[in-house]
Structure 1
Amino acid sequence: MSGAVEAVQQCLIAALNAHQPLMSVITGIYDGPPPRADFPYIAMATGPALDWSFKGGTGRELSLALSVHDDGTSAERLHRVMALVEDALAGGLADGGGWQVVTFGFRRARVLRSAVSPWNGLIEYRARVLQKPAPGA
């Protein structure tokens, strides 16, 4: 993975952590599904990182996914958490880690559940970022 992925994930997590209504209903945000966590929680996932460079600079197009997990008897709370995630990220992301966020937007969401597992909601975003020139370059 590139530094772009890490930088954008940190900005995304900061935006989620700053959204108090979301943080008041989830137990945490994790890099992946934790072995033992109380529901509901969010786990990060990373999709493909594609080249988005141009002649004068380095760029990446990133696919970012947030997986929301809940053990409720219905999907009501899961849908509420997913809506709060979308609210938290509606304003986009700040630049960070030497990368400028050029575009950031919602791609899709879906809810899944099997008979033997908790509710899972997947929310996907796309970010296009450009590497900022090093100071003095």
Structure 2
Amino acid sequence: MGEGVSAAAAVRAGVLARLRGVGGVNGVWEGAGVSAAAPFVLLGDVVASDWSTKDAAGRELRVAVTVRDRGDSPVRAGELAAAVEAAVAGLPRALDGWRVASVVLLRSSVVASGKGAWAAMVNHRVRVLAE
């Protein structure tokens, strides 16, 4: 059952690798509290719940990604959010002992987060089964 690597760790590593391929950002980081020049991407929580079958261990994971940007308009943040959506949707189907069954966009929104600051939140559901 995903020997040695948890589903959350495998999905986090896979998503992080995909996010590092997103162009137009000054970096990709994990967690909050990053002081970086905008625009940048933050990989937030990866929350796991059981999604097992009779004969296979499985997990459903919620993946939260935030794009932080500055500017007069939310347009660039929205474009970067679309790039994040595509990156996560392209997650490899084999992840360190786990097989990806599905990747579904749950929500994508861009909100003002201060004067001239924007946050695009992109949330996915990833379902995996142990290989």
> Structure 2-normalised TM-score?
0.85
Residue 81 of structure 1 deviates from its aligned partner by: 0.7
Counterpart in the other structure of 1:39: 38
Amino acid at match of 2:10: A
Is 1:14–2:17 an aligned residue pair? yes
Question: Matched residues in 2 for 1:48 and 1:13: separation?
Answer: 15
Question: Matched residues in 2 for 1:99 and 1:42: separation?
Answer: 25
Counterpart in the other structure of 2:69: 70
Q: Aligned in 2, Cα 1:92/1:57: closer, same or farther, shift over 3 Å?
A: same
Counterpart in the other structure of 1:100: 99
Q: Which has the larger radius of gyration?
A: 1
Q: What is the Cα-based RMSD across aligned positions, in Å?
A: 1.9
Q: Aligned in 2, Cα 1:5/1:47: closer, same or farther, shift over 3 Å?
A: closer
Contact kept, 8 Å, 1:11 with 1:95, in 2: the verdict is no
Please, which runs of 5 or more residues in structure 2 have no aligned partner?
Answer: none
* Residue deviations 1:59-84 (CA, integer Å, cap 9, x gap): 10000011110111210110111111
Counterpart in the other structure of 2:51: 52
Q: Percent same amino acid at aligned positions?
A: 32
Question: Matched residues in 2 for 1:82 and 1:93: separation?
Answer: 19
Which has a greater percent of strand? 2
- Structure 1 residue runs of 4 or more that deviate by more than 6 Å after TM superposition: none
